Amino acid sequence: MPEVNERPLVQAIGLTKHFPVRGGLLSSLLRREEQVARAVDGVSFDIRRGSVFGLVGESGSGKSTTARLVLRLIEPTAGQVIFDGVDMGTLKPAAMRSLRSRMQIVFQDPMASLNPRMTIGAAIEHPARIHMPDLTPKQRRERVIEMLEAVQLSPGRQYYDKYPHQISGGQRQRVVIARALVTNPDLIVADEPVAMADVSVRALLLELMMKLKEQFDLTYLFITHDLATAKYVCDDIAIMYLGKIVEQGPLRSVFREPSHPYTRALLDAVPVPDPKHRRNRPMPAGEIPSALNPPSGCRFHPRCPIAATEVCPLVDPELRPVEGRPEHLAACHLRTGAYQHLDPER
Ligand code: SF4
């Protein structure tokens, strides 16, 4: 295989995003220092070409901000994104615009993503007008119809002139996917793409996305709070907590041997249909702490059920390979056999 195909499509290196938070008039009168929300703090991962990379975490973990950093929809405070060997931070606006046609995003709320006054055909055609200026109006229309049929809205001609309110929620998400595909991208960032769909259509949408991946040779960055969904679609996953990746690796390895207590808690919270195998372990008590004032040391320590060492609140654990599994990383001082020894239920 030529070397170029072995290069990851996306490399995120030390991605960091801190948002300044203004404290209001009183704070400025008292000359208090400006506060900073550490939304994303030194996140690194590779997305293999043709794979599905899942970024998983609770609300407030920084996964959606990371997705926007990857697409350069927001500027990082620090770190790099290398897309197909190109450092996106070095690109001039025109080069960035052209690269952007190769990466598209699907948001969770299709109603908010579509202009209610624009027909479905016009909505899908819009990115083609910007990124495919050589197409004639007839060719653009044909391309839109082709995309509608690819997302199983068939015959495409019947949907072209409809408005978003005239179709169902599941069909609207198909339209959003068709719009993402129209410029022939390499990367689709799917930000909770089925979270707002009815349970009955979720599996169908995921199945469609996997079929489109093969058909159009796509790579996905898949953002979800739901490990059950991640299990269905992802090849590799990274678990985020309070702006950091706490565990990452091949999906099978992470599911089989979760090495961070937070991953373990997320897995235990996944509903199990068979009552005999129900684990009945709730998520750790408490909410994710504020990114304005993250806990010292390991950020998970106030909620960690096994924070059994005095080093946890003092030293931030680095992501390191789990014993015997070089591709599987965890950021926990007790990530190896010691952790399993402490948990008698394993
Ligand atoms: Fe828990 Fe300590 Fe591991 Fe953090 S480093 S997850 S507090 S055991």
CA distances (Å), origin 345, targets 143, 210, 220, 264: 56, 36, 35, 12
Q: 297 C-alpha vs ligand 1 centroid, how far in Å?
A: 9
pLDDT tens, residue by residue, 85-136: 999 999 998 899 889 999 999 998 888 889 999 999 999 999 999 999 899 9
Query: Ligand 1 pocket by C-beta < 6 Å: which residues?
Result: 260-261, 298, 300-301, 304, 306-307, 312, 317, 332-334
pLDDT at position 269 is 82
Q: In whole angstroms, how large is the CA radius of gyration of the chain?
A: 22
Q: Which amino acid is at 134?
A: D
Relative to the CA of 260, which ligand 1 atom is closest? 6
* Pairwise pLDDT comparison (73 vs 336), residue with the higher score: 73
CA distances (Å), origin 88, targets 137, 150, 285: 31, 30, 40
Cα dihedral angle (275, 281, 287, 288), rounded to 10 degrees?
Answer: -100
| 87 secondary structure, DSSP code | E
Q: Which tokens go with 191?
A: 């930000």
| 9 secondary structure, DSSP code | S
Q: 227 C-alpha vs ligand 1 centroid, how far in Å?
A: 21
- Residue with the smallest CA separation from ligand 1 atom 1 is 307
Q: 300 C-alpha vs ligand 1 centroid, how far in Å?
A: 6
pLDDT band at 270; cut points 50, 70, 90 = confident
pLDDT tens, residue by residue, 295-317: 999 999 999 988 867 889 999 99
pLDDT at position 291 is 83
Relative to the CA of 335, which ligand 1 atom is closest? 3
Q: 303 C-alpha vs ligand 1 centroid, how far in Å?
A: 9
Q: Which amino acid is at 62?
A: G
Instruction: With a cut of 90, say whether residue 343 has pLDDT above it.
Output: no
- Residue with the smallest CA separation from ligand 1 atom 7 is 301
pLDDT tens, residue by residue, 133-167: 899 999 999 999 999 999 999 999 999 999 999 99
Q: 56 C-alpha vs ligand 1 centroid, how far in Å?
A: 19
DSSP structure string for 154-170: -SHHHHHT--GGGS-HH
For the chain, give the percent of residues with pLDDT over 70: 88
**How many C-beta neighbours within 10 Å does residue 84 have?**
17
Q: Could you tell me which of 104, 109, 95 has the C-alpha nearest to residue 124?
A: 104
Q: Looking at the chain, which runs of residues are DSSP E strands?
A: 10-21, 35-47, 52-56, 78-83, 86-87, 103-106, 187-191, 219-224, 236-241, 244-250, 320-322, 325-330
Residue 287 burial by Cβ neighbours in a 10 Å radius (0-12, 13-18, 19+): exposed
Contact yes or no for 328/251 (Cβ under 8 A): no
Query: Ligand 1 pocket: which of 260, 263, 301, 320 to mutate (most atoms <8 Å of CB)?
Result: 301
Q: Looking at 226-299, which runs of residues are DSSP E strands?
A: 236-241, 244-250
Whole-prediction pTM: 0.89
CA distances (Å), origin 152, targets 25, 120, 183, 318: 54, 14, 18, 45
Contact yes or no for 45/248 (Cβ under 8 A): yes
Contact yes or no for 56/28 (Cβ under 8 A): no
Contact yes or no for 51/236 (Cβ under 8 A): yes
Q: 246 C-alpha vs ligand 1 centroid, how far in Å?
A: 10
Phi and psi for 89 in degrees, rounded to 5?
-70, -15
